């Protein structure tokens, strides 16, 4: 099966094979693997040793996003969220339910946000201390300008929390150039092509210390994750970790390095997304985004206007041809949501486009 979804992604057999073992989390051999992963991640994030730390949190991406907001934004404090997609909406909801005051900035989901979109809202309310934003919006496929927005925030003393879950390892953003960023968060199962199961925040140590005690959650507290690492060692993880997923992640990082790191992986995903975009347009489907706003991670395409088209039936029929895409969409208009990430190449994409074309032809002809 070819998995074309934005996580968990298609993985390489070497990564999956690394899971076929029993592991004790406190075993010295495993602790060395884990401590090494922390350093490798810090390097991918462009962090500075001693200034930034890799802080793990078991579970899905939203757990670590919520932990970052709880840790770095005080209860009752205001944070601005540029609202241009489904993942921004989720972030606003989890921040609100954590008792933080969310200022929503409504924007379209058809182009990425830039600094000029954000600054008037910050000027209008000087009590906003932080911006929390999604880097690659996995709802429609747009990319927000995290670098430019970060620069603008730094100039005015506003803090940044970056949801880089579907961007980390691919879209460039170096923490050593962005001291305004308290934390960027991501998971093992997206652009680094590991198994799902654990999230990470790469965070400023001074801020994690200064913010200690305000998370209001024992489980979702990154300051406490840092305290634990200092007390028990950098190979130790607070709470029982998904050890097999971590072992697999180390192999996934080997493959990432062997491929050529961020520039190479970005180039492969960009080529995948372009082949998908152009291929689907060539068989008569209408892209949701203008090409210049199309990011490298997922491609969204308008569903055929034909009343005989049904998303669930289509996704199931396509699966029988060996290709699995999302069976839901979260754009403003009905779309097909297709991932361009994972251990896949443009050959896979071409095969998928052919399968999509054949499935549509079948479906629309049969119902006629």
Ligand X SMILES: *Cc1c(COP(=O)(O)O)cnc(C)c1O
Contacts to ligand X by CB under 6 A = 6-7, 60-62, 65, 87, 134, 138, 163, 165-166, 187
Nearer to ligand X, 165 or 246 (CB): 165
- Least Å distance, CB 310 to ligand X, is 25
- Least Å distance, CB 58 to ligand X, is 12
Residue number with the shortest CB distance to ligand X? Answer: 61
Nearer to ligand X, 74 or 170 (CB): 170
CB-based contact 36:250 (threshold 8 Å): yes
Nearer to ligand X, 89 or 108 (CB): 89
- Least Å distance, CB 282 to ligand X, is 27
- Least Å distance, CB 355 to ligand X, is 24
Nearer to ligand X, 191 or 301 (CB): 191
Measured CA to CA, the distance from residue 254 to residue 250 in angstroms comes to: 6
- Least Å distance, CB 305 to ligand X, is 28
3-state secondary structure the chain: CEECCCCCCCCCHHHHHCCCCCCCCCCHHHHHHHHHHHHHHHHHCCCCECCEEEEEEECCHHHHHHHHHHHHCCCCCEEEEEECCHHHHHHHHHHHHCCCEEEEEECCCCCCCCHHHHHHHHHHCCCEEEEEEECECCCCCCECCHHHHHHHHHHHCCEEEEECCCCCCCCCCCHHHCCCEEEEEEECCCCCCCCCCEEEEEEEHHHHHHCCCCCCCCCCCHHHHHHHHHHHCCCCCCCCCCHHHHHHHHHHHHHHHHHCHHHHHHHHHHHHHHHHHHHHHHCCCCECCCHHHCCCCEEEEECCCCCCCCHHHHHHHHHHCCEECCCCCCCCCCEEEEECCCCCCHHHHHHHHHHHHHHHHHHHHHCC
Nearer to ligand X, 95 or 355 (CB): 95
Q: How far is CA 275 from CA 9, 44, 52, 270, 299, in A?
A: 18, 27, 37, 9, 10
- Least Å distance, CB 26 to ligand X, is 26
Nearer to ligand X, 117 or 163 (CB): 163
Strand-strand pairing, 298-302 and 335-339: antiparallel
Residues 6+ positions from 100 with CB-CB distance below 8 Å: 69, 70, 73, 74, 75, 76, 77, 78, 79
Q: Residue 348 is encoded by which pair of tokens?
A: 């896979």
Count CB atoms within 10 A of the CB of residue 263. 11
Nearer to ligand X, 54 or 144 (CB): 144
Nearer to ligand X, 47 or 295 (CB): 295
- Least Å distance, CB 288 to ligand X, is 16
- Least Å distance, CB 297 to ligand X, is 8
Nearer to ligand X, 36 or 270 (CB): 270
- Least Å distance, CB 146 to ligand X, is 12
Nearer to ligand X, 199 or 235 (CB): 199
- Least Å distance, CB 203 to ligand X, is 17
């Amino acid at each position: 099966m070819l998995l074309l979804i934005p996580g968990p992604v298609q993985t390489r057999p070497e990564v999956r094979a690394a899971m076929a073992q029993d592991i004790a989390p406190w075993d010295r051999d495993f602790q060395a693997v884990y401590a090494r992963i922390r350093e490798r991640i810090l390097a991918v994030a462009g962090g500075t040793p001693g200034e930034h730390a890799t802080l793990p949190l078991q579970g899905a991406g939203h757990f670590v996003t919520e932990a970052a907001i709880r840790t770095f934004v005080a209860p009752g404090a205001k944070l601005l969220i540029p609202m241009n997609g489904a993942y921004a909406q989720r972030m606003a909801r989890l921040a609100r339910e954590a008792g933080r005051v969310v200022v929503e900035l409504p924007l379209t989901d058809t182009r990425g946000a830039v600094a000029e979109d954000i600054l008037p809202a910050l000027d209008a309310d000087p009590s906003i201390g932080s911006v929390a934003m999604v880097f690659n919006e996995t709802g429609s496929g747009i990319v927000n300008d995290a670098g430019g927005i970060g620069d603008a925030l730094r100039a005015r003393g506003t803090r940044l929390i970056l949801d880089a879950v579907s961007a980390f390892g691919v879209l460039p953003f170096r923490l050593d150039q962005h001291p305004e960023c308290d934390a960027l968060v991501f998971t093992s199962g997206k652009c680094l092509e590991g198994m799902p199961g654990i999230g990470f925040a790469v965070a400023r140590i001074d801020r994690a210390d200064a913010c200690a005690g305000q998370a209001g959650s024992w489980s979702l507290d990154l300051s406490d994750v840092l305290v634990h690492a200092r007390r028990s060692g950098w190979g130790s993880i607070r709470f029982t970790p998904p050890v097999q997923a971590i072992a697999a992640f180390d192999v996934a990082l080997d493959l990432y390095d062997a491929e050529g790191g961020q520039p190479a992986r970005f180039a492969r995903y960009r080529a995948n997304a372009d082949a998908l975009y152009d291929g689907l347009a060539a068989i008569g489907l209408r892209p949701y985004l203008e090409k210049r706003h199309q990011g490298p991670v997922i491609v969204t395409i308008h569903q055929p206007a034909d009343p005989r088209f049904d998303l669930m039936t289509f996704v199931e029929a396509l699966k029988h041809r060996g290709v699995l895409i999302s069976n839901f969409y979260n754009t403003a208009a009905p779309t097909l949501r297709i991932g361009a990430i994972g251990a896949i190449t443009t050959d896979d994409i071409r095969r998928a486009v052919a399968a999509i074309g054949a499935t549509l032809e079948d479906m629309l002809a049969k119902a006629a």
